[in-house]
């Protein structure tokens, strides 16, 4: 049994090394001989681009997809779950922001919507918000009002043009992304983010793109690095809760986009983020610093 366990661990680490080598993300001197690409020859072929990251997401079923945009190479943990469509929850605030800007509903990131006075469970929501603070605090009511002002026809037109998931906005203009009809997979999240960063989303101006990229920036975990992300938390009907952390990392001339998804009791975007960051550290995309 001990010999078998050691062999499984060698295979697991070799598979991880193969995925890293495929992305070109192996840090200098960061892997032992046992983790080298040569040691992975008899494990998972690099062309499969499948890596094992279960230990980064303890207690949850998880999918993790990461793409080196320039190289066009992608690695996945749990490809089956990565291809499964679930509600985008508040990760839809990314396209929702773009749509609000492009339709003129939001003229700029300082545009304020007044709080309606209804107290909600998240204390930070109980005040006026502009676009920057609304995406930072994931203010649901702000984006629901934004969507109502965009209107169902224009919203559907943009969601279809973006090729966003199953493109189904029939669940109500202010609800369709919240455990309702709109569904997207982790694979599709990454494709959407890659197109966003390449400036390939139809009907999106360079100005709107620059604003949304700016409001997604997180506190830098290291010098020379731009880190963006957005959480999402909700449940689909009859399914366990799920949580998202999706975003990008720019470092020197490299751009990596990613989507992490966890599923199970206690899953949320807030829980998913630090787990995904552990995976990003393990893959050499984020520096190993205390967050």
pLDDT in tens, 78-131: 999 999 999 999 999 999 999 999 999 999 999 999 999 999 999 999 999 999
What confidence score (pLDDT) does residue 289 get? 65
Q: Which residues contact 3 (CB under 8 A, 6 or more apart)?
A: none
Sequence-distant (≥ 6) Cβ neighbours of residue 116 within 8 angstroms: 141
Domain ranges of the chain: 1-48, 53-282
Catalytic residue list contains 248 = no
Q: What is the pLDDT of residue 119?
A: 96
Q: Given a cut of 80, is residue 43 above it in pLDDT? A: no
DSSP secondary structure letter of residue 89: G
Tokens representing residue 22 in the block: 């495929």
**CB-CB contact of 195 with 201 (8 Å):** yes
User: In which band, very low, low, confident or very high, does the pLDDT at 54 lie, cut at 50, 70 and 90?
Assistant: very high
Mean of all residue pLDDT scores within the chain: 86
- Among the options 90, 208, 248, 268, which is catalytic? 90
Which is more confidently placed, 45 or 284? 284
User: Looking at residue 108, what is its pLDDT?
Assistant: 96
Architecture of domain 53-282: 3-Layer(aba) Sandwich (3.40)
Q: Please check the confidence at residue 35 and state whether its pLDDT lies above 50.
A: no
- In the chain, pLDDT over 70 holds for what percent of residues? 82
Looking at per-residue pLDDT, the higher value among 43 and 257 belongs to: 257
């Amino acid at each position: 049994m001990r010999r078998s366990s050691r062999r499984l661990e060698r295979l697991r680490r070799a598979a991880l090394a193969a995925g890293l080598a495929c992305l070109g993300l192996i840090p200098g001197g960061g892997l032992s001989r046992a983790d080298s690409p040569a040691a992975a020859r008899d494990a998972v072929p690099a062309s499969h681009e499948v890596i094992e990251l279960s230990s980064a997401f303890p207690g949850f079923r998880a999918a993790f997809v990461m793409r080196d945009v320039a190289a066009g190479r992608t690695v996945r943990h749990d490809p089956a779950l990565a291809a499964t469509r679930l509600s985008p929850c508040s990760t839809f605030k990314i396209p929702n922001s773009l749509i609000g800007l492009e339709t003129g509903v939001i003229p700029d990131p300082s545009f304020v919507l007044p709080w309606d006075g209804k107290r909600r469970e998240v204390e930070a929501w109980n005040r006026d918000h502009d676009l920057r603070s609304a995406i930072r605090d994931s203010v649901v009511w702000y984006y629901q009002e934004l969507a109502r002002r965009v209107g169902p026809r224009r919203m559907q037109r943009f969601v279809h043009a973006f090729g966003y998931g199953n493109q189904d906005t029939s669940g109500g203009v202010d609800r369709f992304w919240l455990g309702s009809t709109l569904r997207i997979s982790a694979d599709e999240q990454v494709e959407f983010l890659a197109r966003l960063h390449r400036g390939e989303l139809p009907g999106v101006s360079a100005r709107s793109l620059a604003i949304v990229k700016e409001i997604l920036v997180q506190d830098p975990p290291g010098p020379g690095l731009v880190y963006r992300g957005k959480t999402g938390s909700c449940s689909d009907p009859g399914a366990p809760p799920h949580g998202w952390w999706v975003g990008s990392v720019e470092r020197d001339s490299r751009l990596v986009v990613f989507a992490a998804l966890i599923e199970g009791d206690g899953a949320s975007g807030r829980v998913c983020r630090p787990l995904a960051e552990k995976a990003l550290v393990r893959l050499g995309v984020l520096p190993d610093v205390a967050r």
